[in-house]
Amino acid sequence: MNWLFSFSLGGLAGLLFYWYAPDPLSVEKGSADKKRIPFHQYFPIKQFAASVAPVLERVFPSLIAKLDRQLVEAGRPDNGVRAAHFLAALYFPALLIAVYAMVFAALGIQDVKSMVLTSILAFAVLAFCGPLWIKNMRDKRKRRLDQQFPGFLDFVLMMKEAGETLAASLRLYVLNNPGLELTEHIRRVVAGIETHKDGLPGAVMEFHNECASELGQTTLLSILKAEEMGARSAAMLRDVATDMRERRYEDAEKIAESLKARSMAPAVLMFMGAFLMLLAGSLGKMFTSLGG
- Domain borders along the chain are 2-27+34-139, 144-246
Residue 25 pLDDT = 44
Residue 33 pLDDT = 42
pLDDT digits (tens, 9 = 90+) for 183-221: 888 888 888 888 888 888 888 888 888 888 888 888 888
Q: DSSP letters of 228-247?
A: HHGGGHHHHHHHHHHHHHHH
Residue 34 pLDDT = 47
Mean pLDDT calculated for residue range 285-292: 62
Residue 1 has pLDDT above 50, yes or no: no
Residue 27 pLDDT = 40
Residue 258 neighbours by CB distance under 10 Å: 10
From CA 86, how far away is CA 262, in angstroms rounded?
41
Backbone angles phi, psi at 117, to 5 degrees: -65, -40
pLDDT, averaged across the chain? 76
Mean pLDDT calculated for residue range 24-47: 58
Residues 6+ apart with CB under 8 A from 224: 201, 204, 205
One-letter identity of residue 181? E
pLDDT digits (tens, 9 = 90+) for 85-138: 888 888 887 777 777 777 777 766 666 777 777 778 777 877 788 888 888 888
Whole-prediction pTM value?
A: 0.66
Residue 32 has pLDDT above 50, yes or no: no
Q: Which residue has the higher pLDDT, 117 or 251?
A: 117
Residue 237 has pLDDT above 80, yes or no: no
| Contact (CB, 8 A) for 18 and 130 | no
Between helix 61-73 and helix 83-106 the angle, nearest 10°, is: 120
Residue 148 has pLDDT above 50, yes or no: yes
Residue 6 has pLDDT above 60, yes or no: no
Mean pLDDT calculated for residue range 141-153: 87
